[in-house]
């Protein structure tokens, strides 16, 4: 058995827990069991509440009632039954507030403790402050001490360190008056708070103060708790030398202690290091191990070696893990601890196997067999000594029984001789010498007969004793045979284990070759994918270049089309100035405006970088401005209101829509307003319900009353109706304080 309480020898540390599949019936039974336990707990709590109420109702003094309720409330706080504690404290309130200052202060301190336990630190501070005005000369010092202590702790949680220092100082002053030993708790709490705030120098100073006080006290638990705080401090500050001394001291303090059944040192070596990197953890544990070896604490040094070896083994580095387990073999061999020596030797065998050092693994396997035989022989020797001692004890018991029987026979014989001697004396006095001789002869015969009976009884006892000895020898032989059978079974188990290890080695080799093959295939696949990826990148670059060239070409085409349309528009404008007929000149001018509206579309296509779509709002603004310039319409003459959604429409939709707008705006400029009249022109284009809604209206003269606009045969209206049919739009033309034209376009295409 290891000289530590965490590492249990005789158990296979490599075994994994076997999870058995539980059937639904077992689960149902467990659920029912928990439900019954919960119901019992509820009834039990209800019963306790009734008992408390009965006790309180039997009291007549308010102070006694408040003290009783607060006593049970504090017990419930200690058992983490916060709801019950809350109810009892609320119930104690009226009685406490009607009592003396000491009871009122105790009441508020109880609330402060309750809120501190549930993590409501701000409320805990408020309740503790309520108790301060009630502290006077008669207030119990324990109540004041508890109040100051919990206020300081809550201020620590709230990171208000000036208040923390103030109340800890008050608590320390009270402790100095009646119980200086309790200052260890204040210093320990200060040390923990400074440690949480990364002030490790002050943390060590206060924890060492707490250590000096707790070490001289009677409570070993306080001493161990302080050592545990120091252990965490030296772990966080990465001081392996001091850490090693502390865990050795913890180990000595916990020796033969009933406070816990595990090894605190072994737990500490694996606790609190998760935040470290692997290399930092190994360096720290190495420093701890070296310090432990220097202090000749090889037991805990072996635990540190085991932790380092485990870290290397988990990282897949058995070669680095091996020396630490080999050093553990030396430690345990020097200690004479065969069980631990067997465990560490087995770990060395495992690491050698993983590293592929087959010959050394076989030698270690042979050594394991010898160790197993030694352990078995030692156990058999112990059992032989136990049987021998039992046998000697049984012999001694039998001898004692025989001596007791002899003493009893001797006493009986002496009493019989004395009685017969008295009778003989009487007969000798009355009878003759012949009768005396005859009597003596009979007396000798009786004595001989008694001696024969005694010898027979002794022989019988001796035979019984021999039978018991034979039975003991038979039992010993049977136990020896059982031990031989166990040894044979152990040998078979070891043979099986060796076979399994050999199979495992073979599987590991096959796995390694499989992994190498897989890695090779992955490498080849990666190269193939990389080649395809580069080809695709080249194709994409060619496609992008072609796309850029096409985009430039399309822009150039739109630019040339716009220039050509601009030339046509200019020619029409020049032609209109040479025509003397006003009607013909107006027709040419209208044609020029129509060509200009289409030129604007191509201008937007190449200037905006979007060769497929037109930003409608900007296009219509430019179109209206162009028409205003063409007809010499100023802002004073006609106020133009434009309400256009941010739409991006395709060219095929925009060309007919632009021509329609050109006709409608031109008509308003020409006919809606006379020379003396100014007006308003409204243009609105919105997308609603998957349709484009176009509305062009003015407050001018409107359409003539004698003209049917739906059947009019003017070129402009014909063109508008044609484009409306092309766009699959409904067309409404009417007068409403001026001319109104509405179109609901269902066939349009966004860019």
Domain check: are 550 and 699 in the same one?
A: no
CATH of the domain at 721: 3.30.565.10
DSSP string, 297-326: -HHHHHHHHHHHHHHHHHTT-HHHHHHHHH
* Residue 89 near residue 69 (C-beta atoms within 8 A): yes
Distance CA 728, CA 656 (A): 12
Using only the alpha carbons of the chain, give its radius of gyration.
Answer: 55
* Last residue of one domain, picked from the residues 175, 203, 234: 175
Please state, in angstroms and as integers, the Cα–Cα distance from residue 403 to each residue in 62, 407, 461, 469, following that order: 77, 6, 11, 18
Asked if the structure places residue 653 within a domain, the reply is: yes
Strands 648-650 and 613-615: antiparallel
* Residue 641 near residue 682 (C-beta atoms within 8 A): yes
Asked if the structure places residue 39 within a domain, the reply is: no
* Residue 74 near residue 113 (C-beta atoms within 8 A): yes
| Distant-in-sequence, close-in-space partners of 471: CB < 8 Å, separation ≥ 6 | none
Domain check: are 526 and 660 in the same one?
A: no
The whole-number pLDDT of residue 56 equals 77
Domain check: are 548 and 592 in the same one?
A: no
Domain check: are 63 and 119 in the same one?
A: yes
How many Cα atoms sit within 13 Å of 345 on the Cβ side? Answer: 21
Domain check: are 391 and 496 in the same one?
A: yes
Domain check: are 718 and 586 in the same one?
A: yes
Asked if the structure places residue 139 within a domain, the reply is: yes
Domain check: are 543 and 616 in the same one?
A: no
| Distant-in-sequence, close-in-space partners of 420: CB < 8 Å, separation ≥ 6 | 443, 446
Asked if the structure places residue 520 within a domain, the reply is: yes
Please state, in angstroms and as integers, the Cα–Cα distance from residue 170 to each residue in 96, 182, 515, 527, following that order: 25, 13, 69, 75
Distance CA 99, CA 61 (A): 9
Asked if the structure places residue 294 within a domain, the reply is: no
Give the structural domain span for 614.
579-745
DSSP string, 387-456: HHHHHHHHHHHHHHHHHHHHHHHHHHHHHHHHHHHHHHHHHHHHS-HHHHHHHHHHHHHHHHHHHHHHHH
- DSSP label at residue 99: S
Distance CA 601, CA 614 (A): 7
Domain check: are 519 and 588 in the same one?
A: no
* Residue 108 near residue 131 (C-beta atoms within 8 A): yes
Domain check: are 645 and 738 in the same one?
A: yes
* Residue 204 near residue 191 (C-beta atoms within 8 A): yes
DSSP string, 648-692: EEEHHHHHHHHHHHHHHHHHIIIIIS-TT--EEEEEEEEEETTEE
Distance CA 350, CA 321 (A): 11
Q: How many domains does the chain have?
A: 3
Strands 638-644 and 648-650: unpaired
* Last residue of one domain, picked from the residues 554, 570, 591: 554
* Residue recorded with tokens 């739009």: 729
Asked if the structure places residue 584 within a domain, the reply is: yes
Asked if the structure places residue 241 within a domain, the reply is: no
Containing 698, the helix (H) or strand (E) segment is strand 691-698
- The dihedrals phi and psi of 741, each to the nearest 5 degrees, come to -125, 125
Torsion 615-617-623-629 (CA) sign: negative
The whole-number pLDDT of residue 685 equals 92
* Residue 167 near residue 152 (C-beta atoms within 8 A): yes
Number of CB atoms found within 10 A of residue 228's CB: 16
Domain check: are 596 and 672 in the same one?
A: yes
CATH of the domain at 166: 1.25.40.10
Burial class (CB in 10 A: 0-12, 13-18, 19+), 202: middle
- From start to end of 207-322, where are the E strands? none
Which residues of the chain register pLDDT less than 50?
1-43, 258-262, 421, 425, 428-429, 432, 436, 439
Asked if the structure places residue 620 within a domain, the reply is: yes
The whole-number pLDDT of residue 694 equals 93
The whole-number pLDDT of residue 405 equals 65
Domain check: are 522 and 663 in the same one?
A: no
* Last residue of one domain, picked from the residues 126, 146, 175: 175
Containing 281, the helix (H) or strand (E) segment is helix 278-294
Domain check: are 540 and 627 in the same one?
A: no
- Closest by CA position to 235, among listed 281, 169, 199: 281
Distance CA 309, CA 109 (A): 52
pTM above 0.75, yes or no: no
């Amino acid at each position: 058995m290891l000289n530590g309480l965490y590492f249990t020898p005789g158990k296979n540390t490599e075994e994994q827990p076997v999870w058995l599949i539980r059937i639904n019936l077992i689960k149902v039974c467990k659920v029912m069991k928990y439900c019954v336990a919960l119901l019992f707990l509820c009834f039990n709590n209800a019963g306790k509440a009734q008992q408390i109420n009965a006790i309180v109702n039997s009291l007549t003094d308010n102070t006694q009632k408040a003290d009783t309720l607060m006593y049970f409330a504090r017990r419930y706080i200690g058992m983490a039954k916060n709801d019950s504690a809350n109810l009892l404290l609320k119930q104690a309130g009226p009685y406490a507030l009607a009592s003396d200052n000491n009871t009122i202060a105790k009441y508020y301190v109880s609330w402060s403790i309750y809120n501190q336990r549930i993590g409501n630190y701000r409320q805990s501070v408020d309740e503790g402050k309520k108790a301060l005005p009630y502290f006077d000369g008669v207030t119990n010092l324990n109540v004041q001490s508890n109040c100051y202590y919990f206020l300081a702790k809550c201020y620590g949680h709230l990171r208000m360190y000036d208040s923390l220092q103030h109340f800890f100082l008050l608590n320390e002053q009270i402790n100095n008056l009646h119980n200086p030993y309790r200052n260890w708790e204040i210093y320990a709490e200060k040390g923990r708070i400074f440690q949480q705030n990364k002030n490790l120098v002050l943390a060590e100073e206060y924890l060492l103060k707490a250590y000096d006080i707790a070490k001289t006290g009677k409570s070993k638990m306080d001493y161990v708790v302080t050592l545990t705080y120091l252990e965490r401090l030296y772990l966080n500050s990465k001081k392996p030398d001091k850490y090693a001394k502390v865990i050795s001291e913890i180990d000595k303090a916990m020796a033969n202690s009933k406070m816990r059944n595990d090894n605190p040192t072994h737990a500490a070596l694996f606790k609190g290091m998760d935040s470290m990197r692997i290399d930092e953890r190994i360096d720290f544990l190495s420093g701890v191990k070296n310090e432990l070896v220097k202090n000749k604490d090889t037991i805990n040094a072996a635990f540190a070696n085991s932790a380092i070896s485990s870290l290397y083994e988990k990282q897949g580095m058995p070669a680095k893990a091996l020396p630490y387990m080999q050093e553990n073999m030396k430690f345990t061999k020097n200690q004479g601890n065969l069980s631990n020596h067997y465990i560490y030797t087995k770990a060395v065998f495992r690491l050698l196997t993983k590293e592929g050092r087959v010959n050394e693994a076989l030698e270690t396997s042979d050594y394991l067999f010898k160790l197993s035989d030694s352990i078995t022989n030692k156990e058999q020797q112990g059992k032989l000594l136990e049987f021998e001692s039992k046998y000697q004890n049984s012999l001694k018991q039998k001898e004692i029984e025989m001596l007791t029987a002899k003493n009893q026979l001797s006493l009986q014989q002496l009493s019989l001789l004395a009685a017969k001697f008295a009778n003989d004396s009487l007969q000798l006095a009355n009878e003759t010498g012949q009768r005396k001789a005859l009597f003596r002869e009979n007396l000798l015969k009786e004595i001989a007969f008694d001696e024969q009976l005694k010898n027979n009884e002794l022989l019988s006892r001796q035979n019984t004793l021999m039978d018991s000895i034979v039975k003991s020898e038979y039992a010993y032989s049977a136990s020896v045979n059982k031990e031989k059978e166990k040894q044979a079974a152990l040998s078979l188990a070891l043979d099986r284990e060796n076979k399994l290890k050999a199979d495992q080695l073979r599987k590991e080799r096959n796995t390694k070759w499989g992994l190498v093959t897989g890695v090779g295939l992955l490498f080849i696949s990666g190269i193939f994918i990389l080649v395809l990826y580069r080809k695709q990148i080249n194709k994409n670059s060619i496609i992008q270049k072609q796309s850029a060239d096409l985009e430039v070409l399309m822009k150039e085409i739109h630019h040339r089309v716009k220039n050509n349309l601009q030339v046509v528009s200019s020619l029409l404008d020049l032609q209109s100035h040479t025509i003397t007929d006003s009607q013909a000149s107006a027709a040419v001018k209208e044609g020029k405006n129509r060509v200009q509206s289409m030129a604007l579309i191509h201008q937007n296509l190449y200037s905006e970088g979007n060769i497929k779509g037109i930003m409608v709002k900007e296009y219509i603004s430019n179109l209206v401005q162009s028409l205003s310039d063409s007809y010499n319409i100023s802002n004073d003459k006609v106020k133009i209101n434009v309400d256009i959604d941010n739409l991006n429409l395709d060219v095929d939709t925009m060309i007919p829509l632009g021509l329609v707008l050109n006709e409608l705006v031109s008509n308003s400029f020409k006919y809606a307003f006379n020379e003396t009249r100014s007006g308003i022109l409204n243009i609105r284009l919105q997308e609603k319900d998957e349709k484009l809604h176009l509305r062009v209206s003015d407050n001018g003269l409107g359409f003539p009353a004698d003209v049917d606009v739906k059947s009019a045969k003017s070129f402009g209206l014909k063109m508008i109706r044609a484009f409306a049919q092309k766009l699959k739009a409904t067309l409404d033309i009417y007068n409403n304080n001026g001319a109104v034209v509405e179109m609901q376009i269902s066939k349009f295409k966004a860019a």
